[in-house]
């Protein structure tokens, strides 16, 4: 296994533009960018064609005065133009900063003023309107670029005009940035206060690419990532999509399928059949719920399928460990042929070679279910501050997030906090030296804020966020994440939030899963308004079934930890709202405020 020093040796004298040009030399003919046009047909660009766009955009940005040390902000959905723009900014020696497309005007104002961007590149008139609403309060912007610029004012720079510039010499421009320069600023999702700008250097990103590239090659049958299909649908402002959906492409020539709307993701996955697929837990949970709801329509087939999964679970564990007998492998192959293969094809994951869940804990039962049916799902762990990566293992162990990545040192502090060190650790928080010092100690250890344990095999288990542990009125420390994972295994439940801080016992808000609820409604003859989530949440039979499931879900917790009562809710919590971050992490403060009355009612006698 490579050490941090080994990986640093590999990247000496490099930066991201130089790595990109080396990739163009190796894989220039690979169609790395794929997107649907207005007619719904796929179009593509090779790596060479993307480099040609990058050269013209570099010249255009330099004409606008963008140079080393500048910052350029981008507000663009998952579309092909993003990738050449991001690279062109790097070739100028400047720093690209992508912000969430759902950002409200006041958030746009805060983020742009915080990073001091001199140029804003926006996708369309809708984004421009939000930008204009606070334009007078944004102090540093000198130029605004619009990609879809039909009818735009004269002072707006058109992306199409930028592509008309004579191309810059990328080999010359690649010498501008150094490894220590800032390659991007990733803003944290702000679950506990204003977002902080996480500064990642060219060295951080290049080191991480060497680390994860080696980890994936060592642990899978993939020798070369060139041409491997990836659906890009998570926000490009998020570090996980930035790494796997952008930096992988510029370094390994993965084939990116751009999916600008999250709602289009399931159809895009079915159509493109990705080889590498990443998702936050809610993505995997919804796929699981969709499959289980679909097969529930035929009780006989449902029982057969569930029996098959139960038989496959221990076999897959042995197959992962390399200890399965020929007879066990033959049994799994039979189950695959008669059931699992069709399910994988139905959801578009029949050609996945690496599946990863990250950004929040996934229930171990769901990870195990996917692996049992032949989807090689694993769980990774990382943060913006660690360039997305800390641990990952293809040989997944449900409930754990893998072993430390190549070059990453990890230890558990006396209070249980996970500490990590390596070349992927961020340079600091923009303009916040005090916060940086709180996060990175004098020996270079990043304090993750997560509580964890490392087992005898070196696998890491996340217990919970250090700041989110519930302390009940009786002084009991409880992990809400573990309770919430168990609650989401109640068949009707898709989302959950455990509550109990300074309370006499633990309760929870639980949200009906749309697919599971629809199947239950059909099975029980509910139609019309009676089958809507809002009405079902008040249905006595639904509540009784959830409460029966609660007893099963809490059977592995002791009395002080177990959730005693739940409130069933019928409106799904959506990403990038007061309730969830853009990657579907719970905003606990927002949930507590929004549902204060319902929570209070849970504690009334």
Alpha-carbon dihedral sign for residues 192, 193, 194, 198 = negative
Give the pLDDT confidence score for residue 587 in this predicted structure. Answer: 86
* Cα 67 to Cα 16, 70, 147, 155, 576, distances in angstroms: 16, 6, 21, 21, 33
* CA 217/CA 589 separation, integer angstroms: 41
Give the pLDDT confidence score for residue 473 in this predicted structure. Answer: 66
Rounded to an integer, the average pLDDT of 327-347 is 94
Q: Categorize the per-residue pLDDT at 184 as very low, low, confident or very high, splitting at 50, 70 and 90.
A: very high
Q: Strand 460-465 relative to strand 446-454: parallel, antiparallel, unpaired?
A: antiparallel
pLDDT digits (tens, 9 = 90+) for 419-438: 999 999 999 999 999 999 99
Residues 6+ apart with CB under 8 A from 239: 186, 198, 200, 382, 383, 384, 387, 388
Q: Categorize the per-residue pLDDT at 64 as very low, low, confident or very high, splitting at 50, 70 and 90.
A: very high
Q: Categorize the per-residue pLDDT at 217 as very low, low, confident or very high, splitting at 50, 70 and 90.
A: confident
* CA 68/CA 91 separation, integer angstroms: 9
Residue 164 has pLDDT above 80, yes or no: yes
Task: Look up the pTM and report it.
Answer: 0.86
* CA 92/CA 164 separation, integer angstroms: 18
The answer to whether the CB of 359 falls within 8 A of the CB of 370 is no
Q: Categorize the per-residue pLDDT at 105 as very low, low, confident or very high, splitting at 50, 70 and 90.
A: very high
Q: Which CATH superfamily is domain 279-350+352-466 in?
A: ANL, N-terminal domain (3.40.50.12780)
Burial class (CB in 10 A: 0-12, 13-18, 19+), 48: middle
- Among 103, 48, 62, which residue's Cα sits nearest to residue 577? 103
Percent of the chain at pLDDT exceeding 90: 71
Give the pLDDT confidence score for residue 181 in this predicted structure. Answer: 97
Give the pLDDT confidence score for residue 576 in this predicted structure. Answer: 78
Q: Which fold, 469-602?
A: GMP Synthetase; Chain A, domain 3 (3.30.300)
pLDDT digits (tens, 9 = 90+) for 233-269: 999 999 999 999 999 999 999 999 999 998 899 999 9
Q: Which CATH superfamily is domain 4-210+221-256 in?
A: ANL, N-terminal domain (3.40.50.12780)
Residue 109 has pLDDT above 80, yes or no: yes
pLDDT digits (tens, 9 = 90+) for 371-417: 999 999 999 999 999 999 999 998 888 889 999 999 999 999 998 99
* CA 568/CA 534 separation, integer angstroms: 10
Give me the residue spans of the domains in the chain. Answer: 4-210+221-256, 279-350+352-466, 469-602
Rounded to an integer, the average pLDDT of 158-165 is 97
The answer to whether the CB of 54 falls within 8 A of the CB of 88 is yes
Q: Categorize the per-residue pLDDT at 35 as very low, low, confident or very high, splitting at 50, 70 and 90.
A: very high
Residues 6+ apart with CB under 8 A from 22: none
Q: Categorize the per-residue pLDDT at 57 as very low, low, confident or very high, splitting at 50, 70 and 90.
A: very high
Q: Which two tokens stand for residue 382?
A: 């990382």
Q: Give the three-state DSSP class for 57.
A: helix
Domains 279-350+352-466 and 469-602 share a fold: no
**Which own/partner pairs from 523-528 qualify as long-range (CB within 8 Å, at least 24 positions apart)?**
523/296, 523/297
pLDDT digits (tens, 9 = 90+) for 522-543: 888 888 888 899 999 999 999 9
* Cα 531 to Cα 191, 287, 414, distances in angstroms: 34, 21, 51
Rounded to an integer, the average pLDDT of 49-62 is 98
pLDDT digits (tens, 9 = 90+) for 541-557: 999 999 999 999 898 88
């Amino acid at each position: 296994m490579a050490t941090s020093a080994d990986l640093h040796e590999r990247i000496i004298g490099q930066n991201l533009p130089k790595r990109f040009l080396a990739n163009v030399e190796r894989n220039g003919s690979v169609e790395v960018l794929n997107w649907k046009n207005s007619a719904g047909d796929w179009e593509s660009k090779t790596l060479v064609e993307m480099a040609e766009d990058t050269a013209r955009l570099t010249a255009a940005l330099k004409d606008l005065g963008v140079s080393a040390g500048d910052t350029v902000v981008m507000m663009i959905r998952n579309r092909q133009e993003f990738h050449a723009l991001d690279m062109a900014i790097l070739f100028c020696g400047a720093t690209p900063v992508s912000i969430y497309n759902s950002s409200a005007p006041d958030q746009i104002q805060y983020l742009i003023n915080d990073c001091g961007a001199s140029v804003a590149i926006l996708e369309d008139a809708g984004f421009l309107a939000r930008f204009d609403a606070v334009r007078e309060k944004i102090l540093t912007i000198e130029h605004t670029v619009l990609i879809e610029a039909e009818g735009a004012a004269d002072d707006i720079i058109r992306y199409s005009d930028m592509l008309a510039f004579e191309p810059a010499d990328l080999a010359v421009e690649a010498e501008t940035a150094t490894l220590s320069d800032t390659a991007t600023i990733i803003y944290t999702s702000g679950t506990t206060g204003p977002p902080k700008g996480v500064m990642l250097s060219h060295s951080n990103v290049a080191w991480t690419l060497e680390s994860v590239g080696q980890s994936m090659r060592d642990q899978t049958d993939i020798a070369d990532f060139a041409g491997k299909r990836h659906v890009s649908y998570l926000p490009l402002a998020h570090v996980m999509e930035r790494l796997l959906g952008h930096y992988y492409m510029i370094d390994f020539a993965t084939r990116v399928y751009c999916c600008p709307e999250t709602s289009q993701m399931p159809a895009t996955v079915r159509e493109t059949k990705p080889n590498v697929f990443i998702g936050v837990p809610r993505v995997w949970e919804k796929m699981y719920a969709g499959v289980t709801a679909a097969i529930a329509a035929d009780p006989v087939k449902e029982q057969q399928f569930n029996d098959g999964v139960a038989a496959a679970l221990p076999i897959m564990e042995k197959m992962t460990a390399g200890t399965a007998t020929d007879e066990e492998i033959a049994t799994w192959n039979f189950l695959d042929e008669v059931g699992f293969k069709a399910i994988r094809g139905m959801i578009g994951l029949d050609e996945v070679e690496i599946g990863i869940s990250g950004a929040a804990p996934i229930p171990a039962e769901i990870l195990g279910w996917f692996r049992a049916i032949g989807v090689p799902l694993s769980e990774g762990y990382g943060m913006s501050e660690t360039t997305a990566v800390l641990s990952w293992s293809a040989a997944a162990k449900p409930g754990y997030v893998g072993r430390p990545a190549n070059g990453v040192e990890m230890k558990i502090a006396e209070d249980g906090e996970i500490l990590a060190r390596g070349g992927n650790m961020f340079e600091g928080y923009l303009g916040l030296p005090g916060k940086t010092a709180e996060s990175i100690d004098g020996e270079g250890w990043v304090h993750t804020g997560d509580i964890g344990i490392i087992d005898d095999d070196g696998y890491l288990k996340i217990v919970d966020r250090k700041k989110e542990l519930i302390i009940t009125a009786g002084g009991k420390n409880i992990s809400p994440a573990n309770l919430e994972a168990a609650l989401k295994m109640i068949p009707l439940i898709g989302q959950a939030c455990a509550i109990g801080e300074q309370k006499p016992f633990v309760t929870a808000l639980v949200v009906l899963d749309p697919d599971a609820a629809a199947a239950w409604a059909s099975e029980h003859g509910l139609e019309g308004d009676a089958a809507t989530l809002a009405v079902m949440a008040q249905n006595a039979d639904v509540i009784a079934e959830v409460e029966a499931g609660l007893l099963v879900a809490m059977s592995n917790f002791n009395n002080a930890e177990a959730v005693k009562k739940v409130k069933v809710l019928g409106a799904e919590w959506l990403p990038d709202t007061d309730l969830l971050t853009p990657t579907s992490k719970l905003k606990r403060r927002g949930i507590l405020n929004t549902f204060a009355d319902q929570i209070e009612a849970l504690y009334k006698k």
